[in-house]
Structure 1
Amino acid sequence: MSTSYAHLLPPSWKTQITQWIEEDVPSFDYGGYVVGETDQIAILYGKSEGVLAGVPFFDEVFKQLDCRVEWHISEGTHFTPIKKVAHVYGKARNLLLGERVALNLISRCSGIAYKSRLIADIQKAYGFKGIIAATRKTTPGFRLVEKYGVLVGGLDTHRMDLSAMIMLKDNHIWSQGSITKAIQLARSVGGFSLKIEVECRSEAEADEAIEAGADIIMLDNFTDRGLKDAAKSLKDRWRDKRQFLLESSGGITIDTVASYFNDNIDILSMSTVTQGVAHIDFSLKIQKS
C-alpha cells in the first residue's frame, strides 16, 4: 500500500515545524559549530520493522534548513530492517540541526501507522465490514502527526477535535438531567451539518438517545458478548423506524479487537491506536568521506 495525505494538512502545520525546530535550538548550536558548513549526505535507516509515515513532516524539517530529501520507498510502505529509507543532502550543521526533530516526528508517526496497519490486517482477515477508528486521546500539540499516522496505516481518524462532531458523554447528560434534553440543546447550536453521538451504558439509554434523534450510539464499555446481544436487540427493535450507527468503545485492544467484530456494529473505536504505541527505530547517519 502506498499513498500520501500531504494535501490534507492545514496551513498551520509548517508553523508547527518551525516551532519544534526552535524548541530544539533556542540559542547557540554548539554541536553545529563543531561540524561546520561542508556539504554532506546522510542516510536514513529504518532499524525496526514498520510502516513509513510522516514524510511531509520529515521533508519540511529539512526544507526549512535548506536540505533536500530523496526517498527510496513511498509513504505507507511496510519495511523490515535494516532498510535504507532515504538520503538527505545538505550542510553538515543543518543535517544535524534537523536530525532529532525529524526522527522524533517520523518515529512516532510510523509507529502509529504500523499499529494501525496491523489492526487493519486483522479486520481484513476476519472480513469485518465496519469502521475501526482511533480516538481523540492524542498527545497535546502532536495530534496532527498522530492522526496522520492513523490514516497512513489504514484506519479511520474518528473526530479530529471538539468542533468536528458533537459527542455527548455522561458529564454532558448529567448537566441537562437527561439524554433527550442534552440532544435537543446540542441540536439547537450544531445545526443540520453536525452529527450527534451519545455515549450509552445500557440499552435503555440507547433507546432514549435513538428516540431523541442521535445519529450515532456509542455502547461504552460493554463486554464482547454483551455488546453483540445489545447491538442485535437495538438494530432489531428500531429497524425501519430510525436511522443510526452503533459504535463500540472502551477497553478494545489489538489482542481483543477480533472478538468485537459483529455485523450489527458499525464502528469500533480504540484509544490504543495512539496510546502506548512503540516508536519505529530510525537513525540518520552522515556518510564518512
Structure 2
Amino acid sequence: MAAPPPDLWSLLPPHTLRSLARSWLDEDAPWPDPSSWAVGRAPRRAELLCKSEGVLAGAPFAEAAWVETGCRVTWKTPEGSRLPAGRTVVAEVEGPGAGLLLAERVALNCLGRCSGVATAAARAVTVARESGWAGTVAGTRKTTPGFRLAEKYALAVGGAEPHRYGLGAGLVMLKDNHLLAARVVGAARRAGGFTRRLAVDGAGARGGAKWARHGRGPSFQALHAAAAAVKAARPRVTVEASGGIALADLPRFLGPHVDAVSMGCLTHGAHALDFALRVLPAGGGRDAP
C-alpha cells in the first residue's frame, strides 16, 4: 500500500500564516471601506468556486485571510486535488458579510497563484516520470517578492521539490558571479560549517545546455557527458541541471547521471487558475442558474 501524502499544511507555522494574511489585508484594505459598511456584519454564506482545470493549492493562505476577518471556511475539495474544467465548488465560507468581502480578493489571489504553481509543478513531475526518470524536479528562488513561502508550498503540493527557501538556506551555493568575484570556494566551505552542503555552478555544462536550446551544437550530449564525468570522479556528488529549462525541453535534460532538475518557470511562468466567490442569497438558497 502506498504511503499517504504528507500533510503539507502542518509545515506552515500558524503565526507566519497570520502575519502574512495581515500584511496582505493591510496592502489591499488599509483604510475604511464604504462598501463594507453598506454590506454590514450580518452573517452570510458564500461558495468558493474554481473555474479552471488544474491542481488546487493555497488553502492555508486563503483560510488565514478569511479567519482574520472573522470568517470560517469549510473545504469541500482537499488540497492537492485535481480540479476538472468547469465550475467546481471547493469550499464554503461563512461569517459577517463585510468580512467575507474584505478578504475576498486576497484569498482568491492566493488560491489562483498557488494553484497555478502547483499545476505547473505537477505537469513537470508527470513529464519526468513518464520519461522513466526517477530524479528530483525542483523549483528555484525565482518567486514573487513577499509570496515566496506560498509559492514554495505550492511547488510541494504539485509534487516538486521547493528547493532553497532563501539565499543561505540549506547549502552554500556559488554561482558564476560568485566565482568571478573572487576565489571563494575555500572561504565558502569555512563559512558554511559542517551543516551546509556546498554547491558550485558548473559553467561548462550550463553553457552546453544553452547551446542546445539555441540549436548550436550537441549541447545535451555535452551536458550528459559532463554529468557522467562528474559522477565517475565523485559518485556521491549531486548533479543538478538548471538554467532556463522549459517544460517542452525537460525530457532532454533527464539522464542517468542527472539527479535533479530545477526550473524557474514553475513559479515565474505559472498561469493562475480562475477562482471566484459567490455570496448566497440571504435565505441560504442558491439563485437559479
Q: Which residue of 2 aligns with 1:256?
A: 249
Q: Which residue of 2 aligns with 1:209?
A: none
> 1:171 pairs with 173, 177, 188, which one?
177
5 Å-filtered alignment, 1:196-235, equals 196-202=198-204, 219=206, 222=209, 223-235=219-231
> 2:109 pairs with 93, 101, 104, which one?
104
CA distance 1:248–1:88, change in 2 (3 Å): same
8 A Cα contact 2:48 2:91, kept in partner: yes
Q: Structure 1 counterpart of 2:138, which letter?
A: A
CA distance in 1, matches of 2:244, 2:131: 20
Q: Does 1:15 align with 2:19?
A: yes
Q: TM-score, normalised by structure 1?
A: 0.88
CA distance in 1, matches of 2:207, 2:140: 13
CA distance in 2, matches of 1:246, 1:25: 46
CA distance in 2, matches of 1:36, 1:138: 37
CA distance in 1, matches of 2:40, 2:130: 52
Question: Mean alpha-carbon deviation: is it higher for 184-193 or for 5-14?
Answer: 5-14
Considering only aligned residues, what root-mean-square deviation do their CA atoms show, in Å?
Answer: 1.6
Q: Structure 1 counterpart of 2:134, which letter?
A: K
> 2:266 pairs with 253, 273, 281, which one?
273
CA distance 1:220–1:105, change in 2 (3 Å): farther
5 Å-filtered alignment, 1:28-67, equals 28-67=32-71
Q: Structure 2 counterpart of 1:265, which letter?
A: V
> 1:26 pairs with 24, 27, 30, which one?
30
Q: Which residue of 1 aligns with 2:186?
A: 184
Count of aligned pairs: 267
5 Å-filtered alignment, 1:42-191, equals 42-80=46-84, 81-164=86-169, 165-177=171-183, 182-191=184-193
Shift of 1:125: 1.1
Q: TM-score, normalised by structure 2?
A: 0.88
Aligned-residue sequence identity (percent) comes to 37
3-state SS of the aligned residue for 2:70? coil
3-state SS of the aligned residue for 1:245? coil
CA distance in 2, matches of 1:52, 1:221: 37
* Runs (5+) with no aligned partner, structure 1: 204-218
3-state SS of the aligned residue for 2:227? helix
CA distance in 2, matches of 1:221, 1:185: 28
Deviations, residues 154-177 of structure 1 (Å, cap 9, x unaligned): 000111111212110122112224
Shift of 1:61: 0.8
CA distance in 2, matches of 1:62, 1:198: 43
CA distance in 1, matches of 2:176, 2:224: 22
Q: Structure 1 counterpart of 2:249, which letter?
A: T
CA distance in 2, matches of 1:224, 1:202: 12
Shift of 1:221: 5.7
3-state SS of the aligned residue for 1:265? coil
